Amino acid sequence: MVLRGSSPGREGTLHGRDTMLIHRSGPSLPSGEGPRVTSKQEAVPVNPFSRSLRAGAVAMLLAGAIATPAVAAEPAPPNEQMQALLDQLAGLGGEPIDTLEPSEARTQPSVADAVTALLESRGASTAPEPVGDVEDRTIPGPASDLPVRIYTPDGDGPFPLIVYYHGGGFVIATIDTYDSSARALTNAAEAIVISVEYRKAPEYPFPAAVDDAYAAYLWATDNAAEINGDPERVAVAGESAGGNLATVVSLRARDAGDQPPVHQLLVYPLTSFSLDFPSVETYADAKPLNRAALEWFGGHYLADPSQAADPDVSPLDAPDLSDLPPATIIAAQIDPLLSEGRDYADALRDAGVSVSYRRYDGVTHEFFGTGAVVDEGTEAVTFAGQRLADAFAHLPDTFTAANDGSPPVPSWSLLGLLLLASGAFLLVTLRPLSPRSTRR
């Protein structure tokens, strides 16, 4: 793995969920600046005897320019539901994948298997979430035909499309492993989801997966009408390694001058092959993803370690991230990929790309498709579906979601906030001191 300097100034964690302003366009903001939603507990302490300091604090609160602390040095504990799922996964008897050959690792129990086992232990239904229709087929790929699974929602269409790339570190897992995520997104976004079975390393190292991912995206834009889709409304989405593929597809489309995705949904994306991130240290021993697994995945995906510097491998290190589609980034608190996902959100924002970032506390990597047993999985899918639906409806992509679920805040309201801040400063500094406020 190639080490890269981390950016601790970009790290941010909030009480509950971590949220960040969507910055639509315009000049870059310095790292750590820009409006963001914060909790009351994080307000900067104000000296009650200083009117200037009090006014400055008001301005900072209104502008939202409050720094957030870095990833905690001590690992956060899973919540009760997440812990029950992790216990179930451990009970399935899997071995650490970094001790196995890829062929052996592909037979290990997955989080999806643990969800099924947990539901069975409770006497609950294990039937998959219903959608309008599911079709398995193949499409042309750069080297051979690619298996895809096409999920269609109920309704008449034509529907928007989501080209979805599953996780698995480019080495393990299949469209079957991530069936629950694809079904949930189909219903949440009311869109056709094309789940792509791209080639895996080490049999097919980089750039095979990227080439397959891009070929599938182009196929979707060219053949949308064939599957009752709208070719003008095509988004990309992915989890973990699949999040890497989704944003790299967006970069390739920009550079090639092809139709850009209308949105990119990146769920705890792998954006750098460096291990030099605070969350990699904090969650070095986390489950189901940890530092040893990251090293193992990287060693199999890259035929040459020098490839880690390629933007198609580490998009966080791309020299230019401007003119990319609006992005939604979903993060898990207990995840070695937490830091690089947040850094990527900041890097996109600094490049003028509209970004919405939301972190879910008390859950681990792979929580997104676990809505049947983990509430945060359902919440994250709902949030992602709304973001995608808004993009498909061509709504202004300029809001941030607050921790308490309050309505989106348009980015143009920042000007109003700054004006209010200026007014508050003048009112506090220019009004006469009352006798009660005068120090004796």
Set 335, 346, 361, 397: catalytic member = 335
For the chain, the distance separating the N- and C-terminal CA atoms, rounded to the nearest angstrom, is 63
Rounded Cα–Cα distance for residues 2 and 330 (Å):
25
Active site residue 28: no
Active site residue 240: yes
Rounded Cα–Cα distance for residues 5 and 128 (Å):
43
Rounded Cα–Cα distance for residues 161 and 152 (Å):
9
Rounded Cα–Cα distance for residues 415 and 63 (Å):
9
| Pair 261, 217: CB distance under 8 Å | yes
Angle at 62 between CA 60 and CA 64, to 5 degrees: 65
The full length of the chain comes to 440
Rounded Cα–Cα distance for residues 171 and 240 (Å):
12
Set 110, 365, 390, 411: catalytic member = 365
**HSE toward the beta carbon, residue 60, CA cutoff 13 A:** 18
Rounded Cα–Cα distance for residues 6 and 56 (Å):
31
Set 7, 110, 240, 250: catalytic member = 240
Active site residue 335: yes
Outline where DSSP puts E strands in 98-216.
133-139, 146-152, 159-165, 192-196
Sheet of strand 133-139, all strands in order from the earlier edge strand to the far edge: 18-20, 355-364, 327-334, 264-267, 229-239, 159-165, 192-196, 146-152, 133-139
Supply the residues annotated as catalytic. Answer: 240, 335, 365
